[in-house]
Structure 1
Amino acid sequence: MFTSFFAISAFFGLLGCEQPTNTQVICNKNPELCADLHKDSWCRFEKGDLIRNRFKLKNTLEPSGKLIYDQLLYLENYNKCVELASGVQHILHPERTNDRARAFGLSSQTLSELQETTKGSNDPHLAYYHWSRFNDPEAEAVLFAAESNGAITDVMLKAELASHYLRLNPTKSKQLYAEVFEGSTEENFKADWLLALATIYRLENKFEIDYWLSMTNIEITHANFTEVQMLALIKGNKILQRRLDKDALELAEQLQSGEYQKSKLKTLLDKDIREAHSPL
């Protein structure tokens, strides 16, 4: 048991396999999951994520570290949002402001309890949480021991570690990102991984690759960009720009279709990793 919330969940028992996504349905059938939350429409998405994850926890006999880690993140997001909302004074209905303030206090307490009870966990997700949030040296040791032993399989957690190694050990970062791209799906792929990789190649003064990966991110996210700044990476070479833009479009389509295996990015990363580990 990790918090008083889990004790409540155990007390009410399991409901079965059905997993409703409508939060109002969940709250109506499981009022104990929503009683400490505010009632109006502020922080709708944060509250919805938290409620749905609470429902998953209630229906899980032995919650995984990943599920509890998600609960910590959802609690953090909700707590931050409702803190801001509690500072907004409702003139016509002051009781709504009071309700948000109550929810902020309760969510702060619940978050603190969950942080305390997960401290010292040997689960990699929870170790990552305590290391990244509190710089906990014991959690750091657990996390990197798990990484060294190949015990970390979750794509998102690997991506966090790849980001950590970005400047400390670029080759290690590339290797982890290669595993991340290898294990990602159309559903969980994150375009930001491309920007992290682009940063590595920029630090290596490989500006063509930096341009290619950055433009692939832009193709996927449709982010605004300044063409002059992008062109500066390749010294204004318009012919090279057309080729790299074409390659970026191709890579974007492959990654969004789950076809990393066929991509030039896989070829590049495999080559870089192989060369980095080859004896001089």
Structure 2
Amino acid sequence: MRNFVIITSFISFIAFSGVSGCEKQPDTSTICKNNPELCSDLHADSWCRYEKSELIRKRYKLKFIESPSGKQIYQQLLNLEKYNQCIELAAGVQHILHPERTNDRIRAFGLSAQSLSQLQDTTKNSQDLYLAFYHWTRFNDMEAEKVVLAAHKAQQIDDILLLSQIASYFQKFDAYQSNLIYLEVLDISDEDNFNPDWLLGLSNNYQKLNDLELTYLLSRANVLMTKQNVSEEKMLALIYGDETLQSFLDRQAEELVDVIEDGEFSTSAIKKRLLRSPPTR
């Protein structure tokens, strides 16, 4: 049997046979009782309940995978990060009646930080898209950036999170290219996976391109999706106080929200509007 210690670097692995992929996963208490090596570095009390549970479940799932994919390791890195950040805060809370609980959290913070560091070191210089994406976005690793951008240039990326990050990257120096990538993101968006902040990214780009009508339209769509309060006076000022145009753009924004939530943006008429050439300055 191969040994796989998930709390460190994915180098060792304990594989058990006879586990069906359709089998219902046990609760975290049962997982820890039957697989103590998956939980021994974690704290015992109820702080960071969600982060700890997610980490345990993902570790348990990975235990039965002989060769985890880059995406699965990437998810494990994210889970470790979230747990480590949460338990760091919890470790700073002093428990007066039970100081051993504080000590346990401090221990868990130290061990999870070590586990995270080891996994980061193990995955550095990986050519896997997801692991390169992690090192680019976390450490500004230029070699990892090249891997991700080359994959995008070769049209090998269909992950919405990765595409949105690349769109954000181009936003710094090429608003038009950033828009094209954001529109790729909208093509594969629906109500469940869409982040309204992407509309603000598009809106900022259109403002840089001096297309204030689309700046307004995208900002309005963001407001509709997030229910955020906004200065209507400033919104109207974007289109020079033209209330007739405002009514038209408000309807367009509602249409945009509908097609995004229905997952129909790629075939919508409003996509063509967003693809129009920037106005001449």
TM-score normalised over the length of structure 1: 0.87
Root mean square deviation, CA, Å? 2.4
Deviation sequence 1:203-261 (CA, Å, 0-9, x none): 11222211111111121122232322322222333332222222212211221111113
Would the alpha carbon gap of residues 171 and 204 (structure 1) be closer, same or farther in structure 2, given more than 3 Å must change? closer
In 1, the alpha carbon distance for the partners of 2:273 and 2:80 equals 39
Instruction: State the distance in 2 between where 1:41 and 1:143 align.
Output: 38
SS in 2 for 1:249: helix
What are the residue-to-residue correspondences of 1:69-108 with 2, within 5 Å? 69-108=74-113
Aligned to 1:13: 16
Equivalent AA in structure 1 for residue 52 of structure 2: K
Between the aligned partners of 1:29 and 1:189, the Cα distance in structure 2 is 38
Counterpart-to-counterpart distance in 2, 1:21 and 1:222: 38
Tell me: CA distance 1:222–1:97, structure 2 relative to 1, closer, same or farther (3 Å). Answer: same
- Letter of the 1:106 counterpart: L
Aligned to 1:238: 243
Contact 1:118–1:126 (CA<8 Å) still a contact in 2? yes
Q: 1:168 aligns with which of 173, 180, 183?
A: 173
Q: Which amino acid aligns with 1:70?
A: Q
Question: Any residues of structure 2 matched to 1:1-280 within 5 Å, and which?
Answer: 4=8, 6-7=10-11, 10-13=13-16, 15-17=19-21, 18=23, 20=25, 22-272=27-277
Q: How many residue pairs are counted as aligned between the two chains?
A: 273
Q: Percent identity?
A: 49
Aligned-residue offset at 1:121 = 0.5
Could you tell me how far apart the structure 1 residues matched to 2:26 and 2:165 are? Answer: 28
Rounded Cα–Cα distance in structure 2 between residues aligned with 1:143 and 1:21? 36
Worse overlay, 172-181 or 198-207: 172-181
Counterpart CA distance in 1 for 2:27 and 2:238 is 47
Q: After the TM superposition, which of the residue ranges 63-72 and 106-115 deviates more from structure 2?
A: 63-72
SS of residue matched to 2:14:
helix
Residues 152, 158 of structure 1: 8 Å contact kept: yes
The worse-fitting range, judged by mean Cα deviation, of 121-130 and 171-180 is 171-180
Q: 1:178 to 1:91 in 2, by over 3 A?
A: same
The runs of 5 or more residues in structure 2 that have no matched partner are: none
Query: Aligned in 2, Cα 1:259/1:41: closer, same or farther, shift over 3 Å?
Result: same
Whichever residue aligns with residue 16 of structure 2, its letter is G
1:168 shift after superposition: 1.6
Verify the 8 A CA contact 1:2 1:117 in the aligned structure 2: no
| 1:60–1:189 distance in 2 versus 1, CA, 3 Å | farther
Q: Separation in 2 of the partners of 1:118 and 1:21?
A: 29
Secondary structure at 2:192 match in 1: coil
Could you tell me which amino acid in structure 1 is paired with residue 83 of structure 2? Y
Secondary structure of 1:189 counterpart: coil
The alignment's TM-score, normalised by the length of structure 2, stands at: 0.87
Paired amino acid for 1:233: L
CA deviation digits over 1:118-158, x for unaligned, max 9?
01100111112112222222212222222222222212111
> Secondary structure of 1:168's match?
coil
Bigger helix fraction: 1
In structure 1, runs of 5+ residues without a counterpart are 276-280
Change (3 A) 1:97 1:20: same
Cα separation, 2, equivalents of 1:124 and 1:165: 18
Q: Measure how far apart 1:30 and its partner are.
A: 3.2
